[in-house]
Amino acid sequence: MYHNRISEFVAGLLFGTGLIVSGMTDPAKVLGFLDLAGAWNPSLAFVMGGAILIGFFAFLIARTRTLTLLGGALHLPKATALDKRLVIGGLVFGAGWGLAGFCPGPALVAMAMGQPKALVFVLAMLAGMQLYEMLERRRSTR
C-alpha cells in the first residue's frame, strides 16, 4: 500500500519539477504562447510535444493492461461523448487561462514558490470548483 503512496508523491514531485524546468510556472511565458498577434513564444508547444512523446508510449502500454505494475486497478476514462459541457467547460477554462496565464498545475507550483498572487489565484480556483460542485448537486436533486 505504501508503495502507492510513495509513487503518488513522486509523480507529483516529477510533475511539479517538469513544470519548473519547462518554464511554464511563469505566466508571462504562457501568455507569450497565447499571444499570436504579438511577440509569439512557441515554447509551450515544445512542452506539450515532449510530454506527449512520452505519454503516447505510456498509454500504449496502459491500454494493453487491466492492472497496474503494482497489481492495482487501472482507471482509464470511459466517457466518449463529445457533448456541450466539454466545449463550454473548455472555453470557460481557456478564457481564465488567457486572463492570468495560469492553469491549475503551474498555479499550485507558483503558490508553493511563495507568490502571493498565485495563492489568490488558487483560492479563487478552488471557489470556482466549489461552485461547480454546488451546481452539480442542485442538478442531481432536481
Partner 1 sequence: MMIDWSNFTPWAALAGGVVLGLAAALFILVNGRILGISGIVGGLLTPRKGDVVWRLCFVAGVLMAPVSYRLIATVAAVHIEAGLPTIVVAGLLVGFGTRYGSGCTSGHGVCGLSRLSPRSLVATLAFMGAGFVTVLLVRHVIG
* Binding to partner 1, residues 64-93 (CB under 8 A): 65, 67-70, 72-77, 79-82, 85-93
- Neighbour-count burial for 39-57, b at 16+ CB within 10 Å, e otherwise: eebebbeebeeeeeeeeee
Closest to partner 1 by CB, 124 vs 138, is 124
Minimum gap (Å) between residue 94 Cβ and partner 1:
3
What grid cell was written down for 46?
A: 515544445
Task: Write the CB contacts of 30 (distance below 8 Å, at least 6 apart in sequence).
Answer: 24, 44, 97, 101, 102, 103, 106
d(CA 127, CA 32): 27
Show contacts with partner 1 in window 22-51 (CB under 8 A). 22-29, 31-32, 34-51
Asked if residue 140 binds partner 1 (CB under 8 A), the reply is no
Asked if residue 133 binds partner 1 (CB under 8 A), the reply is yes
Asked if residue 138 binds partner 1 (CB under 8 A), the reply is no
Enumerate the β-bridge partners of residue 127: none
**Total residues interacting with partner 1, rule: CB under 8 A:** 116
Asked if residue 95 binds partner 1 (CB under 8 A), the reply is yes
